Amino acid sequence: MGEKVVTLISKEAIEKRIEEMAREISADYAGRELFLVCVLKGAFIFAADLMRGLTVDTRVDFVDVSSYGKGMKSSAQMTLVLDLQDSIEDKDVLIIEDIADTGRSIDFLKRHIEAKKPRTVKLCTLLDKPGSRVLPHISPDYTGFIIPDKFVVGFGLDFAQRYRNLPFVGYLDFEDDSVE
Ligand code: IMP
Ligand code: MG
């Protein structure tokens, strides 16, 4: 594959924004315990950085939702491949996502989480692509960056499992390459 990655959001800009978000979230949940639900795999790097900036008591657990297919298209079919280990009943839950795209996986997850009777559920996402939303009622409570409707990689986000390790967010430029 000969695609290039063009930087969209620098490492420095991401670090600064995550610190700001951590301060805002810490203020909003002051005096309470916050239960982070990190959505694998894409959000693990964001969640790790965000969590280290939080000054409230924090726990973390993980879920993994899979939409069929491994390409660039999000599909409507969703399955839960990893569930929470601990009870979240009566907890203040913050779902940590890498990106809100069509909104389908967040919608699916929110229903799943809400069925476990938490006290509150909010959504925090590093990136938001409102231009490609299929479910308009899905709107994050905390957003790192609003980005254009491009397929992005890096900082946890992948293309066919590659590029998660990039310390910045970029978009793929396929130039002369053909993609299936
Ligand atoms: P949804 O379309 O909002 O359900 O997004 C589902 C998932 O697709 C996200 O959590 C990401 O894992 C993935 N995804 C959506 N847009 C992108 C992108 O631009 N790059 C990499 N992964 C993406
Ligand atoms: Mg994801």
Structural domains of the chain sorted by starting position, each given as residue range(s) with its CATH number in brackets: 11-148 (3.40.50.2020)
pLDDT of residue 67: 80
For position 175, what pLDDT does the model report?
74
Residue 107 is predicted with a pLDDT of 95
- Ligand 1 centroid–CA 158 distance in Å is 9
Residue 106 pLDDT: 95
177 is catalytic: no
At 159 the pLDDT is: 95
For residue 41, which ligand has an atom nearest its CA? 2
- In the chain, the largest separation of any two C-alpha atoms, in whole Å, equals 54
Mutate to test the pocket of ligand 1, among 44, 65, 68, 98 (most ligand atoms within 8 A of CB): 98
DSSP 70: S
Residue 154's SS3 state is strand
Distance CA 163, CA 154 (A): 5
pLDDT, residue 89, reads: 98
Query: Distance of CA 101 to CAs 98, 117, 129, 138, 151, Å?
Result: 10, 26, 5, 10, 10
How many A from CA of 98 to the centre of ligand 2? 6
The finding on whether 118 has its CB within 6 A of some atom of ligand 1 is no
Dist. CA 64 → ligand 2 center (Å): 8
**What are the per-10-residue average pLDDT scores of the chain (180 residues)?**
89 98 98 98 98 98 83 72 96 98 95 98 98 94 97 97 97 69
Continuous H helices in 10-57? 11-28, 44-53
3-state secondary structure of 165: coil
Q: Whose CA is nearest to atom 6 of ligand 1?
A: 105
| 102 within ligand 1 shell (Cβ under 6 A) | yes
pTM: 0.93
CA–CA dist 68, 57 (Å, integer): 36
Query: Is 49 close to ligand 1, i.e. is its CB under 6 Å away?
Result: no
- Whether 101 is in the pocket of ligand 1, judged by its Cβ within 6 Å, is yes
Helix 44-53, helix 11-28: angle, nearest 10: 60
Amino acid at 18: I
What pLDDT shows up at residue 70? 55
With H, G, I as helix, E, B as strand and everything else as coil, classify residue 27.
helix
